[in-house]
Amino acid sequence: MKDAPLLLRRTDQRPSSHQPTHRLPATMSDKPDISEVTNFDKTKLKKTETQEKNPLPTKETIEQEKAETS
């Protein structure tokens, strides 16, 4: 019987395109540009009022619900 061609690839080895590459040293283009952040004008923001959508129950509410279920 002839040797059959190997059709299955071993799963414990990654193809060469997935091998880790060496890291190049950081350059200025790799760092984030924070100039916009430092020049940001907070006074141009609109005032908003925060409303809690799902507030936690108070201690009294918890005690009341415990009494109702017991």
Look at the block and give the residue holding tokens 């952040």.
Answer: 37
Q: Which residue has the tokens 């409303």?
A: 51
The position carrying tokens 């080895």 is 13
Confidence of residue 25 (pLDDT cuts 50, 70, 90): low
Cα atoms in the Cβ-side hemisphere of radius 13 Å centred on 67 = 6
Taking only the tens place, the pLDDT of each residue in 29-57 is 677 788 888 888 999 999 999 888 888 89
CA distance 57 to 68: 15
Q: What is the pTM of this model?
A: 0.27
